[in-house]
Structure 1
Amino acid sequence: MKLSACIEWQFAEGNEGLGDRIRAAHAAGLDHAEFHLWRDKDMAGVAEALAETGVTLTGFCVDPRRSIVDPAQHEEFLGAVRDTLAAAQKVGSPPLIVASGFNREGVSPNEHFAEAVKALRAAADLAEAAGVTLVLEPLNDRIDHPGMYLVSTTLGLDLIEAVGSPRLRLLYDVYHSRVMGEDMKAVLAGRIHLVEHVQVADLPGRNEPGTGDLDFAAIVADLRALGYERAIGLEYRPTLPAEASLAQTRDALGL
């Protein structure tokens, strides 16, 4: 497994733009990077830094974020997918992260599910045509995202199976999953082939692995036992300077 720096938060000291953060991550020995929204970023600078360093993006978000469970937002959601697919093709066509949007008051779970499948199926059609993978991310509603619809890994995988597209996969975030009280081995057993990317942060605090209560050596071992060997995204808020933060993270993960 290789590590992917979340340059939204990491390598920020003295590096205002993402291009310079990519260069700093590469200088620190990392070959992968990811970030959040793209419309407020210098994407030309990102493309230049990727070409210069050989770093590969593991993902950024469909922007702007719109709901997959609210039919009133579906057209805006698909417009955001189209725009983000076009942006992605200029930086190596990495996976694109999809958040669900919020629960609709008075709407049944079945209706939420049906609307989500409808929106994701249309988005997957666009992704298939572009040759880009969309990754659906369950978040937590207990600390960071109150009211969010998709907070369950099992539900996320159910949605992906219902859509049935090779260009729709899951982003599994260890931090969000643990906040929701999930057992990683239980929720991913038999379905790891649907997971495109994994992100980590410690709990509590959402900081570097090794700063909280999670046993990341065991988590990495369990991921390997499940069959996951892709990159690990370091989506944490650092408490240390970049090099020290990365060293602590490598030690905690055993990578």
Structure 2
Amino acid sequence: MELSACIEWQFAEGNDNLADRVRAAKAAGLGHAEFHLWRDKDIAGLAAALAETGVNLTGLCVDPRRSIVDPAQHEEMLQAVADTLAVAKTVGSPPLIVASGFTREGVSPEEHKAEAIKVLRRAADLAEAAEVTLVLEPLNDRVEHPGMYLVDTALALDIIEAVASPRLKLLFDVYHSHVMGEDMRTVLAGRIHLVEHVQVADSPGRNEPGTGTIDWPAAIETLRDLGYAGALGLEYRPTMEATASLMATRAALGV
């Protein structure tokens, strides 16, 4: 498994823009990077740095974030997908991360799920035409993101299966799943083919692997046993200088 730096948070020391963080990640021996929202970023500069270094993006977020469960936001959500697909073409067409939005008070679980499936089918049509993959990300509502609708990996996979598009997959974040008390093997067994990308951070704290309580050798072994061979996104907040942080993370993950 290769590592992907979250340049939203990593390699930030002395590097005010994403382009320089890409160069710093490359200098540290990494060939992959990812970040969050794009509208406030210098995308042209980032594209130049990616071309210069050969670094590959493993993800960025659909921007702005809009709800998949609130039909009042669906047209804005689809426009955000279309806009982000256009931008993605300039930076290598990486997977685009979709968050769910918040639970609607007084609305049944069945209606929430139906609305999510409905709009994600339309979004997947856009992604298929652009030959770009959307990745649906469950978050946690116990530490961050109170009120978030999609906090259950099994539900996310059910929605993905219902949409039934080759361009809609899962972003599995070990940190969020751990916070929600999930067993990784249980929730991913038989459905690892739907996982496009995996992100890591330790719990508690959301810092480097090895700083918290997650059993990383067991987690990595489980991912390998299930058949995941993609990149590991380092979506953690570093507690030390970039080189030391990366060394500690490699040691904890064993990669």
| TM-score bucket of the superposed structures, by smaller chain | over 0.9
Instruction: Using the TM superposition, give the Cα deviation of residue 241 of structure 1 relative to its aligned residue in structure 2, in angstroms.
Output: 0.2
Q: Aligned equivalents of 1:219 and 1:25: distance in 2? A: 24
**Secondary structure at the counterpart of residue 72 of structure 1:** helix
| TM-score normalised by length of structure 1 | 1.00
Q: Aligned equivalents of 2:220 and 2:101: distance in 1? A: 29
Whether 2:21 is the aligned partner of 1:21: answer yes
Q: Aligned equivalents of 1:123 and 1:78: distance in 2? A: 6
Question: Match of 2:127, as an amino acid?
Answer: A
Question: Which residue is 1:80 aligned to?
Answer: 80
Question: Which residue is 2:156 aligned to?
Answer: 156
Q: Aligned equivalents of 1:77 and 1:248: distance in 2? A: 38
**Secondary structure at the counterpart of residue 78 of structure 2:** helix
Q: Aligned equivalents of 1:232 and 1:50: distance in 2? A: 19
Q: Please list the CA deviations of residues 195-226 of structure 1 after superposition, one character each: whole Å capped at 9, or x if unmatched.
A: 00000000000000011111111111110000
Q: Aligned equivalents of 1:53 and 1:163: distance in 2? A: 36
Within-5 A mapping of 1:3-152: 3-152=3-152
The sequence identity of aligned pairs, in percent, is 78
Cα RMSD of the aligned pairs, angstroms, is 0.3
Q: Aligned equivalents of 1:235 and 1:141: distance in 2? A: 17
Q: Aligned equivalents of 1:54 and 1:142: distance in 2? A: 38
Question: Which residue is 2:191 aligned to?
Answer: 191
Question: Which residue is 1:210 aligned to?
Answer: 210
Structure 2: tracts of 5 or more residues without a match: none
**Secondary structure at the counterpart of residue 172 of structure 2:** strand
Q: Aligned equivalents of 2:247 and 2:117: distance in 1? A: 41
Runs of 4 or more above 3 Å deviation? none
Q: Please list the CA deviations of residues 161-211 of structure 1 after superposition, one character each: whole Å capped at 9, or x if unmatched.
A: 000000000000000000000000000000000000000000000000011
Structure 1: tracts of 5 or more residues without a match: none
| TM-score normalised by length of structure 2 | 1.00
Instruction: Using the TM superposition, give the Cα deviation of residue 39 of structure 1 relative to its aligned residue in structure 2, in angstroms.
Output: 0.3
Q: Aligned equivalents of 1:204 and 1:165: distance in 2? A: 35
Question: Which residue is 1:219 aligned to?
Answer: 219
Alignment length, in residue pairs?
Answer: 255
Instruction: Using the TM superposition, give the Cα deviation of residue 140 of structure 1 relative to its aligned residue in structure 2, in angstroms.
Output: 0.2
Q: Aligned equivalents of 1:28 and 1:221: distance in 2? A: 25
Whether 2:237 is the aligned partner of 1:237: answer yes
**Secondary structure at the counterpart of residue 221 of structure 1:** helix
